[in-house]
Structure 1
Amino acid sequence: MADQDDEIALPDLANAEPLSAESHTFGMDDPERVRTAQELEAVFEVPVNVSAVLGKTHMEVSSLLKLGRGTIVELDRKVGEAIDIYVNDRLVARGEVVVVDDRLGVTMTEIVKGEVG
């Protein structure tokens, strides 16, 4: 897991050089090439489902129906353990719960690379 002081270097897409007309493959032949904001503009408005999973548990329907206000449901995580952050049901990061004003939020502490489930 990454330390809180670790920073993830992201390319400055807004100041990158625009795509030239002859590079119609969008650099697919060069996986190391940085994409520009103009190249990614088509996906900026695509909605995605983001979920922050605090933990999981399994229970029978009969137990589920007995739950009421104030019932404590034990999850498979310990206090202070990282939570999973999913985008469109795919694990992409781990993070910590934070409080911003009077709302809960999530800060990412680790980017998950590759297929993890």
Structure 2
Amino acid sequence: MEAQAEARRAQDERQGGGRNLDSILRIPVLMQVVLGSATMPVSNLMKLGRGAIVPLDHRVGEPVDVVVNGRVIARGEVVVVEDDNSRFGVSLTEIVGPSAADPNG
């Protein structure tokens, strides 16, 4: 009898864990695709106006960073979405491991 009770408890814990996992999997995260960045003094920033072009540190054709909640998780290429030519997408070319994505481990 005790073995059956233990098995039942273990099954209940697994099922409860499944519900917890399901809840976690539904948490929204912010995904951003970073085309590049630029550093400039505030004085130059204040001079920017409509039509100004800010050169970025990435070149055309270089992979872009895919960032989720502030961490680089992948790299990819910018593409035009097939079903909607007015939208950009990203084709993932590399999944970044934890050590490469976060220098702190």
- Kindly tell me: are residues 38 and 98 of structure 1, through their superposed partners in 2, closer, same or farther at Cα, counting changes over 3 Å? farther
User: Higher Cα Rg: structure 1 or 2?
Assistant: 2
**Runs of 4+ displaced beyond 2 Å:** 37-40
Aligned partners of 2:50 and 2:95: how far apart in 1? 35
User: Which structure 2 residue ranges, 5 or more long, are not aligned?
Assistant: 1-9
Residue aligning to 2:42: 61
SS at match of 1:43: helix
Higher helix share: 2
What do you get for the CA RMSD once the two structures are aligned?
2.2
Which 10-residue stretch deviates more, 41-50 or 92-101? 41-50
Counterpart code for 1:82: P
Aligned partners of 1:22 and 1:103: how far apart in 2? 46
Matched, 1:106 2:101: no
> Which aligned pairs between 1:1-117 and structure 2 lie closer than 5 A?
21=11, 24=14, 40-100=21-81, 101=84, 102-115=86-99, 116=101
Sequence identity of aligned pairs in percent? Answer: 48
SS at match of 2:45: helix
Counterpart code for 1:103: R
- 1:16-46 Cα shifts (integer Å, max 9, x gaps): xxxx71774x6xxxxxxxxxx8673122321
Aligned partners of 1:51 and 1:59: how far apart in 2? 22
Aligned partners of 1:45 and 1:99: how far apart in 2? 27
User: Which structure 1 residue ranges, 5 or more long, are not aligned?
Assistant: 1-19, 27-36
